[in-house]
Amino acid sequence: MTSGGDRLAEPARTVLVLGGTGEARELARRAAPLARVVSSLAGRVASPRLPEGEVRVGGFGGVAGLVAYLRAERVAAVVDATHPFADRITANALAATAEAGVPLLVLRRPGWAERAGDRWTWVDSVAEAARVVGGRRAFVTTGRDGLGAFAAGVARTVDPPAGPTALEVVLARGPYDVDGELALMRRHAVEVLVTKDSGGDMTAAKLVAARALGLPVVVVRRPPAPAAPTVATVDAALTWLGSGAGGAQDG
């Protein structure tokens, strides 16, 4: 017998994947042979793309609720694979795993980088983006919140905007291709693109289209990265899980 503290010797570990991203879905699918995987979604999107396997939906009730969940489900490791802008659940995961003594790995795709020919302005919030845009016709892709601050153009959201907006609204969900983005930007006579620095391939075509059209882009910076071991790929997260679900802390 090994001691209870020896995680490498424990069978049938439960891994909690905090999700809401394509990477989280891929991780849930590929980690299934390694552990019991439970994916958690916030329940914000009306009809989310569901990961394979066990899924729970809705907030935990802050740090205390998440600590209680980790204990009740005997969670052996948490992978925070939430969107880079979902900073409250990430802060909660950091605090709750520390309190419950559960290893935490953050899976974050890298941000986007400016290329030759790009005209990007970095801002700290959607509200600041709206101020930079001013009266220009914008293509706003920052989600359903904060759209009331923009004067003209088009917003693309998964669910309808959270409040009133002067923008036309296109309801859609990626991935998108460059031809489609070019057509949308031309159709709406877009003068400036507004995006979060989400990173990844699923929504990057708008940046290629903006470059091709010579349009400026206003990019909302990510919130600060959490102080936790972090990897950029699903492969690296699987390696971490395969090494004992938190046995490796070097990310």
- For residue 17, the cross-strand partners are 39, 79
Nearer to ligand NAP, 14 or 92 (CB): 92
Q: Are 246 and 76 in contact (CB under 8 A)?
A: yes
Instruction: Tell me if 153 contacts ligand NAP by CB under 6 A.
Output: no
Tokens of 224: 């600060």
How far, CA to CA in Å, does 236 sit from each of 93, 119, 213, 221? 19, 33, 36, 24
User: Hey, how many other C-beta atoms are within 10 angstroms of the C-beta on 72?
Assistant: 8
Task: State the DSSP code for 14.
Answer: E
**Quick one: which segment of 86-94, 133-141, 225-233, 241-249 binds ligand NAP (CB under 6 A)?**
86-94
* DSSP annotation string for 199-227: -SSTTTHHHHHHHHHT--EEEEPPPPPPS
Instruction: Tell me if 97 contacts ligand NAP by CB under 6 A.
Output: no
Cα–Cα distance for residue pair 125/111, rounded to 1 Å: 16
Instruction: Tell me if 44 contacts ligand NAP by CB under 6 A.
Output: yes
Judged by CB under 6 A, which of 35, 42, 75, 190 binds ligand NAP? 42
Residue number of the CB closest to ligand NAP reads: 59
Nearer to ligand NAP, 182 or 232 (CB): 232
Total chain residues near ligand NAP (CB under 6 A): 24
Instruction: Tell me if 40 contacts ligand NAP by CB under 6 A.
Output: yes
Instruction: Tell me if 92 contacts ligand NAP by CB under 6 A.
Output: yes
Judged by CB under 6 A, which of 83, 108, 109, 137 binds ligand NAP? 83
Nearer to ligand NAP, 9 or 202 (CB): 202
